[in-house]
Structure 1
Amino acid sequence: MKSQIVFIFLTLCGASLCQGQGCENVIGDASCNAYKSLGYCTYEGVENLCYKTCNPVECDDTPCLNLPTISSNGYNEPNSTFYFAGPPVAYVCNAGYILEGPDTNTCLLNDTWTNGAPTCVPACPPLPVDSALYIPSSGPYREGDIVEYRCVNQTAAVVGNPFSTCVENNTVLSWSLETLPTCDTSGFCGPPPMIAVDGLNPESRDYASGSVATYQCRERRVLEGSSSTSCINGSWTEPAPICYQDCVDFQDCTNNVNFNYCTHPIYLSQMEELCRKSCGLCSNCTSPPTGDDVIAAPSGPFMQGSRVNYTCANGTLFGADSNLCLPDDVWLNESPVCYADCPDLPTIANGGNLPNGTTHSHGTTVQYSCDDGYMLFPPTENTCNDGNWSESSAGECRKICEALPQLHEHLVATTSPPFYLAGDSLNFTCSNGTLEGSATVTCSASGNWSTFPTCRADCENLPTVVANGGQSQNETTASHGTIVHYFCDEGYQIISPTFNLCNDGNWTEIFPAACVKICDTIPMLDELLVAIGNDSVLIQGQTVGFVCKNGTLDGPSTLTCSANGTWEYEGSGMGSGFMGSGMGSGSGSGMGSDDVFPTCIAECGPPPIDGSLILTNAALPEFVEGAMVEYGCRFGMTSDPTTSVCQSNAEWSLADLPLCSP
C-alpha cells in the first residue's frame, strides 16, 4: 500500500503543479495530511511540495539541472539530464565500495539541490568469522573502522584481543587481527557473596569472568563495605558488605510508646527508626577492641552506628584504621596492630637507598643501589620488622675495575670473567717467552690495576767464539734476560764483547768475542832503552816502538806480537847491522829469543880536560860506549889513573882528572 501511495504522490508532484498562473490546490488538506502521516513530508523538498500543494503560493515550474554526481565508482538513480522538484535522486556505489556522504539528493523549487555529491570509498573485505563469535555492529566497513568480537555464549569470556581494525597496506585493505580470540567458560564464578541482613542482593546465579555484581541496602539502612564485586578468573574480588541501622542521630531511647504500637504495620513502615529506638531495639557497644599502643577516638559511649578511628601512640598502624558499632554490641573489625618504626638504617658506601632516609615504618623494604661504576653485592634490601632491621649491615658497592689494557700478544690470563671488581686479582703466564714483571696484578679500591707484566721472547742462534775460547753455556737458545759470558783459553786475551745479553728475542751483540794470543813481556835489556806502547799485557797485532834515552838504537825500532805469541820485526838497525848482534839489516823475527830485542849504544861527550893535561888518543870520531882515552901531563908526571872509558850510562869512568906534579 505504501509503494502505491508513493507512486500516486510522485505522479501528482511530478506533474506541472504550477500552471504558470500560481499554485493550485491540486490535492486537498486531507490527502496532504495522509502523506505526512506516512512520513513522506518529513524530507526536505517533499515537505515543501506538500506545503506548496496544501498552501497555494507563487512558485516556479523550472526543473533542476546539473545534478551533483559521484566522481567515480558509483552512479545515481534515476539517471536523467533534468529533474523536477520533489522526487529524491538516489546515490549508489559500485560493488566493493561504500557511500560516504548523503545517499539522496532533492531538487528544490528554486532550481537548487539539497546536498552536494557523495563519494564512493573502498570497502573493507569480509570479516573472518568463527561460530563461537559474533560482531555487534554491521557492515559495510571502511578504512579505520574498528570492530569488536564477542562470544555467542554470553556467559563465556573472550580470550585474546577482541578488536580488529580495517587498515590499508600497499593500497589494499585488510583486517589487522591475524588470530581470532576464543571463548572460555572456565572462568565462571558461582553466585556472589550475599548481604546477610537488610540487603538488596544481586541475582543468585553463575557469572562469567569479568562480570560485576552490585549491592544495595534496604531503605533507611547504611551500606558498609564495597558496593560491588567482580568475577575474575573464577573468584569474586570483594566480600559482601553489611547493611545496618544507624541509631546515632535518633533521640534518646525511651520506652515512650507501647511495643504493640511499634509493631503495628503502619508504624513499622513509616516510623521504623523511632519505633526501633523507642522500643529498645537500638543497642550500644562496649569499648572497641584496642591492642598495644592502639588509640581509639572519640571515646564512648558507643551507640549503634558510632564510628571510631584508630591511631598509634608509637609506630605505624596496620589493619583497619576505623571501626563501626553494629547491633548486639558487635564491632565490625578486629583491633589493628601498632608496629614500631625502625631507626638507624645501615647505610651503604658509594651508593644509596630507596625510599630515602634512615628511619622507616614497619613492613617497609628498602632497596640498596650503587653509584655509577660500582656493583651491588648482597644484601640488596633491608626490611623493617617491628623496630628491627632484617639485615644488620648494608650491601656492599664494589668498584668496577677499568677495562684491561692491550696486553702483549703472548700474555695469557688464567681466568677471563666478563668484568672485574676491586680486590680481584689476575694471574698471567706467557704462551711463548719469559714473563717479565709480577705474574699477579690486582685491582685497587679505586678500580685501577697494578702494573701488568709482559712477555719477553727467547733468543736463538747465540754468536759463539770460533777458536781459542768459549762461552758460559753451550746451548744457542736462551730466555730473555740471560747473560752469556765469553772466555779465552790460557795464553789468549779476550777482545770485546766479554758477554752477550738476550733482550726480548734479540742478542745485544751480533758478533762473539775474539781470543787473541798473548805475547811475552818485552825485557828491558838496556837502561837507556825506552819501549813505547809496552802495556802490561801485549796481544796479537800489538806493536811496540823503541827509542834510546841516550845513544844510538841497536836493533829494530818496532816489534809486533804475532799470532803465535812471538815478537816479529820489520825494519833496520843502525845501517851497519845490529851492534853486538851480528845480524844484518832487514826484517826477521826472534823466535823465543831475546836476540830480537834492540839495545842502546851509549854516547859519551868529549872527555873532560884541563890545561895541565893532554889526550894521547883523542882522535876517535865518536865517543861511544867502550871508547877509551888516555891522559898525559903536559909538564911533569902524575901518579893518578890516566885511562877513562865511555860507559853504558854515557858517563866517563874516570870521575876525577889526574894531577900532574913537577
Structure 2
Amino acid sequence: EVRVGCVVGYTGFFKLQCMRGRWQSIGKICQRKSCGHPGDAQFADFILEGEDFVFGSQVVYTCHKGYQMVSRRNTRRCMEKGWDGTIPVCEALQCPAISADNNVQMIGDADEANYGNVLRFTCRSSNEILYGSQQIYCNEHGQWSDETPKCREVTCPVPVIENGYVLGNIQEYKQHEYLEFECNPTYKRSEARDPTCTRTGPRAEWSPTPVCERKCKLSNPNLLFPTGGASYDPPYRNVFPPGERVKITCGDRYYISRPQDISAVATCKDDGEWTFQLTCREVTCNRPRDPTLYDWRNWEPRLKLLDTVRYSCKGGYKRTDGATEATCTRDGWSPNPLCQEITCNRRDFHNADVEDPKQTYRDGEHASYVCKEGYRGSFYLTCGKNGWSGQQQCKLHTECQKPDVQHGFIVGPYNETLYYTCEEGYKLVTKPWWGEAKCGSTEALAQCIEKSACGELPVIPHMEVESQRNNYTHGESVTINCKEGYVAQFVRLTCHQGKWNDSETSLEKICQRDHCVPPPKVTNAVVVTSRQKEYTSGSEATYQCRDQYTIKGVATVTCINGTWEERNFTCTRTYIQMHLKLLQMLYERVQLVQFHSNLIFFFFKLAAMMQDNFEWRMFVYVLLILCVNTIYTNYQTEYTSGSKVTYQCRDHYTMEGVGRITCINGQWEEEKFTCSPTGTYIQKHLKLLQMLYERVQLVQFHSNLIFFFFKKWQL
C-alpha cells in the first residue's frame, strides 16, 4: 500500500494498493477546497462563476442602479488560502450643483445631491406661475432629470374656439382680464359669464372655458336623470339644432311632463330652449286630505308609485268598491274617491210594494214592504255598508211549482225562491254559474248550453247588430259592423271554446271614433279653413302665415285614421322685415353720432372762448372728455338679458372700478366706474387738448361718412 496526498487546492487523501500487478485506489478521494461566502458588498450584487464557493470559483460584483464602483477590481477568486482581494466598494452617483432664479423658491439640497434626491420648485410671488417641471430628481447617470424651471407673470394665450371667434387683436391676456368672444350662427355660449384669465394651481387657464355649442343640448343621462332610468331617441347624441325633436322615455316609476306620460317628444326652439323641461320625475302621491277618511295608517307626507296604505272611512261612508287599502297610481290614489257615502238603491219585488218609496236610501235607513195580493206577510230591509240586509218574506198562498231545466236541475223553494244550475259539461247562457227564480214568476229560466258554446253576442258599444241569436256554438263568427263615424279594430268576432276572441280587448275599444283632435298649433301661423266639431279621416286643415312672414312648404295637413299627418312647412320672416330693424338701428346710430359730434364742437367752442380763464377752460375740457370717453363700442341692435358692454378709458386716463355693465331683465345695471386723468396737472391737460382736437375731427369725419352712406341707401 502507498498513501497519496491531494494536490494544491484540494483536501483529503487516498491509498493505492498493488493487486496482481496493478495499482488500485482505496479509501478517501480528493475534493475541492471551500472558501466559504465571499462577503456582500453594500449597494451591490454579485454573480458566481463556477461550482459553489470552492477552489477555482469566481464572483463578479455589480453596483446597484445609481451607484458606481470605486474599487480597482470588481471580482474575487477562491484560492488555496481563501478569497483573494477585498470586497468591492460602491458609492452613490452625485449630480452637479445647480441654481435657480431669485423669484423661484427651491426646496432640497442642490449642492450635494445623490442619486434619487429630489428638488421641488415654487414661485415666490402669487402673481407668477411656474414654467417647467415642478420637481426634478438626480437620475442613475448622475444627471438632473430636467432643467431648472422659470417663474413668469400669469398670462393666458388667445384660445382657439370651435364654432366661435375672439374679438379684438389682443395676443396675450394678463391675470383677471376678460376674454370677449362671439359664437357662430346657430351656436351659443355654454356659460353666460365671460371667461377670465385665472391661475389654477401651477397653470393659467380660462375660467370658464370658452365653448360655443349648438342651441339645444342634452346633458349626460346619468347626470340629468340620476334615478329616472331615462333613454333618448335618437340615442348617442346630446346636441340638436333648432326644429329637431328628441323623444325622452322615463323609467317605469317616473314621468315626464304629466304623471300619465312615461315618454314625450320635445322640440328644440329657436331660443335654444326645449319646449318643456327634460326632467324625469318620480311618480308620487301626497297624503290625502279627504274629510270622509277616519284612519290613514301611514304618516309619510309623500309616497311612491304602487305604494299601498290601509285606511278606514267615517261613519256613513264605506271604502269604494270594497277596497281594503289605497294604491298610489299615476292618476293619484286608487280607488278614487277613497270613500263613498253608504247608499242603497231602492229594491223592488214582484210580489211586494214598498211604503213611502224613495229612489236612494242612506246608511241605517229602512224600506218597509207590504206583500201583494196572492201573497201573505210584510217585511223591511235595512241599508248598510254591505247593501240591503233582511229577507223578503212574502209567501204564496199556493204551492211553488218546479219547471223542468234541460241539462240541469232545480233545488228549493227557499224563501219562495227556486235555485238552479247546469249539469257537468254544460253552463248557463248567463254569466253566473247558477240562477234563481221566484215562485209563481212567469219569467223563463236561463238556458243550459254546452261549455264550448258562447251564448248570446256581447253588447258592443257603437256596433250595429242585424239579428240577435240566443246561442252561438264553437267556431261560429259574427262580422263587426260599427255605426257611422266609428271604425272597427278588427273584422270578426269568433266563438272559441266558450269565449269570444275579443276577451282581451275592452268592448268599448272595438268600435272607435274615426276623427282627429283640432289641428296642431304652428308658430306664426293660423288655420284658415272652417273650424269643425270633429275632423273625420280625410279632413284637411290649411294654415296661413302672419303678415310679413312667408310659407315654405305645403301648408295643408290631412287627418288620416285619427292622426294628423306630419307638417312639412314653416313660416319665415321676409327679407325686408329682417332688415327693417337694422335700418332703424342705423338711423338711430347716425343720430347718436351726430349728437355727440355737435356736443363735442359746442364744448370745444366754449373752451376757445375762455382763453383768459384757465380753470374754467379746464373744467370745460373735463366735461368734453366725459362726453367722448363714455361712448361705448360693440354697438348692437338688441341686447338680450345677460349681455355685457365694456368701456375703455382713453390714453392717459385710468379706469377706477369695473368698466362693464350688464343687461338684467331689460335694464342696464348701475355704472360703477370712472375714468380719472394720470400724470402731472399741466401735462395731462396739454395732451388732453391735442386729443380733443383729433377726436373732434375724427367724430365729425365719421358723422359725415355715415350720413353719406345713409343717403346712398335711401336712394
Q: TM-score, normalised by structure 1?
A: 0.18
Question: Whose helix fraction is larger, Structure 1's or Structure 2's?
Answer: 2
Q: Relative contact order, CA 8 A, sep 6+: which one is greater?
A: 1
Q: TM-score, normalised by structure 2?
A: 0.17
Which one has the largest radius of gyration? 1
